Structures are given as structure tokens and as C-alpha cells.
Chain A
Amino acid sequence: MSKIIELKSVNKWFGDFQVLKDINLTVSSKEKIVICGPSGSGKSTLIRCINRLEEHQKGDIVVDGITLDANTKNIEKIRSEVGMVFQQFNLFPHLSILDNCTLAPIWVKKKSKKDAEELANQYLEKVQIVDQAKKFPGQLSGGQQQRAAIARALCMEPNIMLFDEPTSALDPEMIKEVLDVMVDLAKGGMTMCVVTHEMGFAKEVADRVIFMDEGSIVEEKPTDQFFNNPENERTKLFLSQILN
């Protein structure tokens, strides 16, 4: 399988504090990886580096053949190919759900309004909130908002989807509806990098699981090996805490 994301000795500092320490990671096309770890371990920062919402200071990040540097054109190109879903949904509150979804296709991809709306309806159908299209984000439940946010990202027809703790801000009964959409997406063959604590989701869809602690990748294994015989002590401790 072809490499689609490649991180080579990536380092990042917030002031004096090193958040990412010598990260090496390769993701193949259509692969699904789950990144977990205690809070503050740098996992969100890591996936935010992949579409350069955060800037890394040392090392190379190559996404879909493009090396990320200060070149704005490249960054915008990468961002229109990489979709992202956030913990806090980050829908645009002044626009309806439909407009949230059509905005970037119209303004970034220069699609016609009609095409963009057709596309949006198709993806809103897929996440099962097409009946809410005319509503504003504030009128939707958390789970519906997160599904709308996934649809918004999909409307750019990305090759890669990044999920930054997509269910952490949701009430328990809404987590499933969002995870169902993500499982569905995974089965459709999307390349996915998911930061999450939902180990059930990891077991079901992930090809590989990565465990991070204090800015480093501590353990990286195919899913069944990761859960069945983790080697690192910190991984074992984390798993015993989160699985029980």
C-alpha cells in the first residue's frame, strides 16, 4: 500500500516545553490508525500538525506527496484534501447546517451552488441528519452537531480524515451515533487518524493503535497485538485503567 502520511523525526515545542519528541509515523492509504494516551501526551498536537493547524519546528511531514513548510499554497492544498473533526464540533454558528457544508466547496473548490448543495445533501444523508439541514447549529444536539461537522469535512471530498477526540464532549447516549458514522466511513475505505479513548471503536476498525506519552510514541502495534500483549509498562497501566 502506498504511503499517504509520513512523519520523520518531528519535534515541536510550545515555548520551552517540548510537546512532540522525535515522532516517526507512516500511514498508508486507506489505513485506519487510532492514537491514544493520557491527556497532555501530545496526541492532539500530533494530528493537528498533519494539516498544519500546528507548526512543527524540526523534522519533515509529507502528506500526499507534499512536504509541509511555510508555503501557504501547499498548506491550503493539503487542507482541502485533509478533513478534520474537532472535539468541540466548531460548526459555524451563524450559518445553517447546509451552509456550513456548502461554504468550502463553493468558496475553496469553486463548485456551483447547486452542485455543492447536492453534495452536501448526499453527505448529510449519509450521517443521517438531512432533515436538519435548514437548522442552525445551536438548535441541534451535540451528537447531531458532531455528525454535521463530519459531513462538513466530507463535503471537501478529502482523502484523509483526522478526528481529534470526536466523542469526548458528548453525552454518553450520543457517543454511539457518532461512532456509528465513523465506523461506516472506515468501512467505506477512508484513510483515518483518530485520537480517541473509545477502545471499542479502536478494536472494531483500527488497523494499528499508537500509544503516546509525554510527547513520544511509546508503543505502536497492529490492533489485536496492542490489546492482547502490550509490551510497555505505561501502555499496560493505561489499558488497565481505561478498559476497566
Chain B
Amino acid sequence: MNFTNWSRKNLFANWKDSLLTITILYLFYVSIPPLLNWVFLDATFFGDSKKDCTGGGACWVFINVWIKRFTYGMYPNDQIWRINLAFVIFFISIGSYFFVSSKIKKYIFIFLTLVFPFLAIFLFHGGSLGLEEVETRVWGGLFLTLFISVFSIIFCFPIGVLLAMGRRSNLPVIKYFSIGFIELWRGVPLITVLFMAAVMFPVFLPSGTNLDKLIRVIIAITLFESAYIAEVVRGGLQAIPRGQYDAANSIGMGYWKSHLLIILPQALKIVIPGVANTFIALFKDTPLILVVGLMELLGMVNMAKTNPAWLGLATEGYVFAAFVYFIFCFSMSRYSLSLENKLKTTN
């Protein structure tokens, strides 16, 4: 009864509504069953080669067989435990962060920001203490996506905040440097920046020095994204009333103290949605490193689909990649939303 009333009010209120409802229901009828058939009912999930795919639906065998490459790139199979170990440590630290007292939280935070990055790089790269060296050119897949995203995000955020403050500085040198820096990086496509990092940058280095291509790419993405973060954060700084600066100054706080304790905590809270937006964009921009020969998740899918034994499975590959990107981006989006709500209630 309830449903009848509800649908009469919302779906069939007049002839226009009814027409729209029927059209849309028809479109659902036409598109959804074939989609479900393709993804689930007619799909083949298990097997060893393309020949096992006889159902007429999606050939998920492709993903199943290649999942190791999609996840770890060309990282040697017998060394993959190192990546897994780093991620297990990472997720245990993050997970336990939410269940321990604030005293231990401090130590976990210090570990995650100051110790873990070096530990992770050591585990991934090796080369000493009995760990075999694994060159960055064989790094790839989702592992590389996460590696580049996490490090770029960690570095670009503080640089962006400093640039935002610099752009509002009273000191002309700092102000115009910040403006110049931001406008330069915002005015150039990321692809160009990546090309320059990979091809042109080594030309400027003193001969004999060789900076790893992956490091150059991370530096390039970091500088590029920091310009965007700077503008987002500047918006937040501008929203803080003059009275907050006056009050902070009047109790004897200088520039850094008033910014770190009063202005930034308020400004950053305001810009959470914008910062999350930039981080999600950064994550989705990582496939562009394909142009300099690094292959993260999408790059590996691209490579696998051209393998002679697996030709014609591009759709499955791209659907899978899209699904993985979506999971991560959606998680980031939800996390930023929960952070927003959490900070709102304590105020």
C-alpha cells in the first residue's frame, strides 16, 4: 500500500512523469540484464588461459592469471614478500591507530611519518643487509601506483601549505617567488612536466650523477601538485577573519606560532574537501607516468592486453583497472568526509 502511494506521488504524478518513469524502466530493462550476464552469469572466473573462456561473458581468467603482475609489476616473484611485509606493517599501524590511547597514538604517528617511509623504501629497493637489490625499473602495478601517490601526497602537502603562506607574505621576494612557482607549475600540463623530468632533467645534472627516474618522477608530481594544494590552502587562509591574526598577535605570538597554532588548524579544516579533491586527482593522474616508461596498474593492464596469448581482452582489463581506481578514490572521498564530520562535532 505504502509503495503504491509513494510511486503514485513520486513516479506517476502526471503523464510527463509517467512517461519518464516508463522510459527509464525500459532503459534499465535493456541494459542491466546483459551487463549482469557479462559480468557474472556468462563470465568465466577460473582457468589458465584464454581458451578456458567459453561462456561468452567476461573472461576474468585474464585478471586471475595476471593479478600478480597487475599488483606488483615486474617485481621478482621471490621478492614480493618484501612489498607485502611493508604494506602489512603499514595497515597494522594505521589500523591500530584507531584503537590505542592518545599517548601511543603519538608514537605510531612518529613511526608512520619519520620511520616507515625509509623502512618501506629499504624493503622495496634493498641492496644491503642481505636484501637483494631490486631496481626501480621493474617496480610496477598497483604497488607503484600506491608508492608514487603516497610519497607525492606526503611531500606536496607541506610544500603546498608553505607556498600558500608565501603567496600571502609581506616579504616581496618570498611573495613573488611563490606566485611565480605556483603559476609556472599550474600553467604546464602534467605530461609535459613528466617528459621534462625524464628526458630533459638529466641534461642539467652534473655529469656522473644519476638520479633514479622514479625519484625524478615523484619530484615532478610533487612540485606540480603542490601548486594546486597551495591555491586550495590559500582559499582557506583567506577565509580566516583578520581578528584571529590580531588576537594571536596580541598575546605575543609571532608569525610561525600564530600560523601553526591558530590560523592553519582552522584554515586546513575548511579546505579538507578541496585537498581531498586534489589528492584524488593526483591518484588518478599516476597512469600518466606511462609516458616515461614506468608502468603502474593501468600500464600493466595495457601491456598484458597486447600479449599474443591474451589478445582481445582489453575490456576486462580496463573494467578491472577502473574498479580498482574507484575503490581507492571512493575510500579517500569517504575518509575525507568522515574527517570533516569528526572535526565539525568537536567544535
Interface residues of B in 248-285 (CB under 8 A from A): 248-254, 257, 261-262, 265-266, 269
Q: State A84–B253 Cα separation when bound (angstroms).
A: 13
Q: List 13 A-B contacts (CB under 8 A).
A: A51-B250, A72-B254, A76-B252, A76-B254, A79-B251, A80-B252, A82-B250, A88-B241, A90-B244, A90-B247, A94-B269, A94-B347, A108-B252
A194 at the interface (CB under 8 A from B): no
Q: State A77–B249 Cα separation when bound (angstroms).
A: 11
Contact with B along A88-105 (1 / 0, CB 8 A): 101111100000000110
Closest CB of chain A to B271's CB: distance in Å?
A: 14
User: CB distance B262 to A92 under 8 Å?
Assistant: yes
Look across to chain B and name the residue whose beta carbon is closest to the beta carbon of A137.
B347
Look across to chain A and name the residue whose beta carbon is closest to the beta carbon of B243.
A90
Write out the residue numbers on chain A whose beta carbons fall within 8 Å of the beta carbon of B261.
103, 107
Look across to chain B and name the residue whose beta carbon is closest to the beta carbon of A48.
B246
A153 at the interface (CB under 8 A from B): yes
Look across to chain A and name the residue whose beta carbon is closest to the beta carbon of B254.
A76
If A92-B247, A94-B265, A152-B251 are given as contacts, then 12 extra A-B residue pairs at C-beta distance below 8 Å, sorted by A number, are A72-B254, A79-B252, A80-B251, A83-B250, A90-B246, A92-B248, A94-B266, A94-B269, A104-B251, A107-B261, A108-B253, A108-B257
When the two chains form the complex, which single residue of A86, A93, A108 contacts B266, counting CB atoms closer than 8 Å? A93
Q: State A236–B254 Cα separation when bound (angstroms).
A: 43
Closest CB of chain A to B103's CB: distance in Å?
A: 14
A138 at the interface (CB under 8 A from B): yes
When the two chains form the complex, which single residue of B243, B252, B257, B265 contacts A156, counting CB atoms closer than 8 Å? B252
A136 at the interface (CB under 8 A from B): yes
Look across to chain A and name the residue whose beta carbon is closest to the beta carbon of B265.
A94
The number of inter-chain residue pairs (CB within 8 angstroms) is 67
How many residues of chain B are within 8 Å of chain A by beta carbon?
20
User: CB distance B347 to A79 under 8 Å?
Assistant: no
Q: State A108–B260 Cα separation when bound (angstroms).
A: 13
Look across to chain A and name the residue whose beta carbon is closest to the beta carbon of B263.
A92
Interface set of B (CB-CB < 8 Å, partner A): 241, 243-244, 246-254, 257, 261-262, 265-266, 269, 346-347
Write out the residue numbers on chain A whose beta carbons fall within 8 Å of the beta carbon of B254.
72, 76
A140 at the interface (CB under 8 A from B): no
User: CB distance A53 to B347 under 8 Å?
Assistant: no
Write out the residue numbers on chain B whose beta carbons fall within 8 Å of the beta carbon of A93.
266, 347
User: CB distance A136 to B247 under 8 Å?
Assistant: no
Q: State A159–B252 Cα separation when bound (angstroms).
A: 14
Q: State A156–B248 Cα separation when bound (angstroms).
A: 12
Q: State A153–B265 Cα separation when bound (angstroms).
A: 21
Say which size band chain A's interface belongs to.
20 to 34
**Given A93-B347, A94-B269, CB of A53 within 8 Å of CB of B246:** yes
Q: State A84–B261 Cα separation when bound (angstroms).
A: 19
Q: State A107–B347 Cα separation when bound (angstroms).
A: 22
Q: State A199–B248 Cα separation when bound (angstroms).
A: 30
Write out the residue numbers on chain B whose beta carbons fall within 8 Å of the beta carbon of A103.
251, 261-262
User: CB distance B246 to A92 under 8 Å?
Assistant: no
Q: State A90–B252 Cα separation when bound (angstroms).
A: 15
Closest CB of chain A to B266's CB: distance in Å?
A: 5
Q: State A126–B9 Cα separation when bound (angstroms).
A: 62
Look across to chain B and name the residue whose beta carbon is closest to the beta carbon of A84.
B250
User: CB distance A92 to B251 under 8 Å?
Assistant: no
Q: State A156–B347 Cα separation when bound (angstroms).
A: 25
Q: State A108–B254 Cα separation when bound (angstroms).
A: 9
Q: State A79–B247 Cα separation when bound (angstroms).
A: 10
Q: State A238–B248 Cα separation when bound (angstroms).
A: 34
Write out the residue numbers on chain A whose beta carbons fall within 8 Å of the beta carbon of B246.
53, 84, 86, 90
Look across to chain B and name the residue whose beta carbon is closest to the beta carbon of A152.
B251
From B246, B247, B251, B253, name the one whose CB has the most chain A CB atoms within 10 angstroms. Answer: B251
User: CB distance A104 to B243 under 8 Å?
Assistant: no
User: CB distance B251 to A156 under 8 Å?
Assistant: yes
User: CB distance A104 to B265 under 8 Å?
Assistant: no
Q: State A138–B346 Cα separation when bound (angstroms).
A: 11
Closest CB of chain A to B170's CB: distance in Å?
A: 11
Closest CB of chain B to A63's CB: distance in Å?
A: 13
Interface residues of A in 156-186 (CB under 8 A from B): 156
Closest CB of chain B to A148's CB: distance in Å?
A: 12
User: CB distance A79 to B249 under 8 Å?
Assistant: yes
Closest CB of chain B to A152's CB: distance in Å?
A: 7
Q: State A240–B257 Cα separation when bound (angstroms).
A: 46
Write out the residue numbers on chain A whose beta carbons fall within 8 Å of the beta carbon of B250.
51, 53, 79, 82-84, 86, 153
Closest CB of chain B to A226's CB: distance in Å?
A: 28
Q: State A77–B262 Cα separation when bound (angstroms).
A: 19
Closest CB of chain A to B270's CB: distance in Å?
A: 11
Write out the residue numbers on chain A whose beta carbons fall within 8 Å of the beta carbon of B243.
86, 88, 90
From B241, B250, B269, name the one whose CB has the most chain A CB atoms within 10 angstroms. Answer: B250
Q: State A18–B243 Cα separation when bound (angstroms).
A: 23
